Homo-oligomer: A and B are copies of this chain.
Amino acid sequence: MLPPLRTSAAHHRLLAQVVHPRLRPRPAFQFNSPSVRFNTTTTSVPPPSAPPPPSPPPRRLFGRTRTAARWTGYLCLSTIIGITVVTTGILVHDAFTYTDRHIDRVPISPLALNPEKGGPKNLPIARVQVDDEEDEENKKLAEKPRLVIVGGGWGAMGILNTLKSGDYHVTVISTETFTTFTPLLPSAAVGTVQVRTLIEPIRKIIARLRGHFVVGKAVDLVMSERLIEIETTTSDGKKANVYIPYDKLVIAVGSSSSTHGVPGLETCFQLKTIGDAQAIRRRIMDNFEIASLPTTSQEERKRLLSFVICGGGPTGVETAAEIYDFCSEDIMNYFPKIIREEVSIHLIQSREHILNTYAEAISTFAEAKFQRDNVDLITSARVAGITPECVIYTTQNPSTGQTEQHTIPTNFVLWSTGIAMNPFTQRVSNLLPNQVHKKAIEVDAHLRVKGAPVGEVYAIGDCATIETSIVSHFMDLVEEADQDKNGKIDFGEWEIMVKKIKQRIPMAGDHLVECKALFDMYDSDADNNLSLNELVMLLEEVGKKITSLPATAQVASQQGKYIGKKLHKLARQKPVLDANDVPPVARDESVSGPFKYLHLGSLAYIGNAAVFDFGKYSFSGGLLAMYAWRSIYWNEQVSMRTRALLMIDWVIRGIWGRDLSRL
């Protein structure tokens, strides 16, 4: 149960004391403020060229007042001039923007749209987009290689922001018309920031590249004909499928939540999209409103005010903290006391600690914070099932070792644990026999989908995983390294091989640092040569140690930028590559090395405090850490518009609190 933190009246007094001075004119303009008075006594210098003025009677007070008045006058004048200039600027801007002038129609020959049919399913193939013949620039672009990007998240934005205009005929396909700043979704779920702040229309982003946007869902891929099948929805809700041809395809569709085989997940919330955040917000407000009704029993009230979060990763922890803040800062001021008394927040984590991918100090800080806030932290617990009325989980009794089952009655469950393939990723994976990974599409170090025609299909972000198996490159590696072709690898050849492995799988680099020690360890017969058997064992062991990259925005964004740069270089160097007749595999590798992930640190916002983990050093704390957290996220925004909106949201929330409307 949450304790009520402050009473409504006290909060209001606080606001009245603290906020109002901010709204007053800035002290610099008030003459009576000491700083300015200080200025007046020391500034005055006679105009050097003018004769000394007739000396006035030494009435200091009078002189001072006159100077003061003059100062005030000038300051006022400057202010007025400033305001006038700004206002004029706004007026001029508005006069041009909000014109009700009528401009004559530009004649245009509408492009008749009867796409030819084809492909395995005999569907329309959109070889020409409706705006391909709009003007000269577009006509020129229509002849460029076709780059199709499926998805509109961090990966896609990474590509779009690094591509140069004129490189490709770009088409973005996404089910949502906007891109979302996902790290702030927990804040949006309780109204700390507005959902519109986190989104930017994809059409605005692709305008720079004169790209095309198709709202729809990728459902199938015909790699032999280079067609991707898109399911679009007509105005009467029917499905209409269409093929979109590509020369280069980037799959960046993200993932869905892993179910871990838990029954009843359909009653849970996820937090992956703006729609999820809106639904969560609606449910939270619904719960509070229904709990306040006179028709609600005390037992039901308790259930309605119990919020359960499954998953102790950043999303789960941030959401729990945001719900706590929302209750303690906003709900308590406007809802009956009985409501505030009954609120409970539960966080169920399967591991021993929350935020277990972060540094230990951070994990400890977060746990201590939740402890103080009376957030119910349930660690080393497994969720056994979820019903519309409750969450069932099991823990192991540390003394007896027996499994115990517990139930939390609740009307709100957030499921934020692990990722799984969505239907399109599954389909792509099924199409390719050598795709065996269960959670994502396997790509090589150049982010090319394994098994797909080389240099045509890439996958990035949550839907992709970079291969970690070195053994699968065994034959190639031996061929490249075994220079004396004796079927054995001596140390010199091993050093060559390590270099080659690092090129193919950069993530293996960390585990190949002690390359002499490894060689000696696996050279079991100590003949200073690794037999092929010994080599396989070594490579398998190293491969196991490589952990795949986490499914985070940071990884997706870096992969997007990597692909964007690569594609740009490929486009610019095409004439040279064509002239030299470079084969597809070598092309990718000739313009850039394999993808290398640079971890910039992790951060999380935990209830008016924040934690940072930059690998070598980590820190956590209250207000200042929160400011640091804010400034990093502010800086990461996709556009100046969202940056301005985010700042405004924080200020509005600071002054008036969160919006309590159920919308």
Contact = CB atoms under 8 A, between A and B. Distances in A.
Contacts of A15: 93, 97
Contact of A45 (B44, B214, B244): B44
Given A81-B28, A290-B235, A663-B195, A45 B36 contact: no
B608 A98 contact: yes
A604 B97 CA distance: 20
A119 interface: no
Interface in A42-72: 43-49, 52-53, 55-56, 58-60, 62-64, 66-67, 70-71
Given A82-B28, A86-B22, A240-B295, A652 B644 contact: yes
A188 B62 CA distance: 58
Interface in A580-633: 607-609, 622-623, 626
Interface in A226-242: 232-236, 240-242
A193 to B, nearest CB: 11
A104 B52 contact: no
B82 A27 contact: yes
Contact of A294 (B126, B207, B337): B126
12 contacts: A28-B81, A43-B70, A98-B654, A111-B338, A134-B338, A176-B661, A203-B334, A204-B334, A214-B294, A215-B293, A234-B300, A640-B656
Interface string A1-44: 10111111000001100110110001111000101100101011
A436 interface: no
Given A100-B372, A131-B337, 9 more contacts: A45-B46, A48-B63, A98-B626, A99-B622, A110-B341, A126-B295, A134-B336, A177-B660, A641-B652
A106 interface: yes
A218 B99 CA distance: 46
A222 interface: no
A147 interface: no
A45 B18 contact: no
A45 B74 CA distance: 13
Contact of A124 (B131, B295, B659): B295
Interface in A276-330: 285-287, 289-290, 292-298, 300, 303-304, 329
A485 interface: no
A262 interface: no
A662 B178 CA distance: 8
A112 interface: yes
A108 interface: yes
A300 B235 CA distance: 9
B35 A77 contact: yes
Interface in A90-119: 90-106, 108, 110-113, 115
- A130, A287, A373 pick with most chain B CB within 10 angstroms: A130
Q: Closest 9 A-B residue pairs measured CB to CB?
A: A48-B63, A28-B82, A131-B336, A28-B78, A126-B294, A3-B105, A178-B661, A201-B660, A26-B82
A199 B663 contact: yes
A43 B101 CA distance: 47
Given A47-B41, A654-B94, A100 B177 contact: no
A216 interface: yes
A85 B655 contact: no
A607 B100 contact: yes
A101 B325 CA distance: 11
B373 A77 contact: no
Indicate how many identical chains form the complex: 2
A663 B8 contact: no
Contacts of A240: 293, 295
A425 interface: no
Contact of A108 (B111, B200, B341): B341
B46 A623 contact: no
B96 A14 contact: yes
A619 to B, nearest CB: 15
B96 A39 contact: no
A31 to B, nearest CB: 11
Contacts of A298: 110, 112-113
B608 A100 contact: yes
A338 B91 CA distance: 32
A56 B203 CA distance: 65
A79 to B, nearest CB: 6
Contacts of A648: 648
A94 B49 CA distance: 52
A641 to B, nearest CB: 4
Contacts of A622: 98-100
B85 A66 contact: no
A223 interface: no
Contacts of A101: 5
- A5, A98, A292, A607 pick with most chain B CB within 10 angstroms: A98
A60 B67 contact: no
Given A18-B89, A659-B196, A661-B178, A6 B103 contact: yes
A333 interface: yes
A522 interface: no
Contacts of A659: 196, 199, 201
A235 B27 contact: no
A335 interface: yes
Contact of A215 (B98, B126, B233, B289): B289
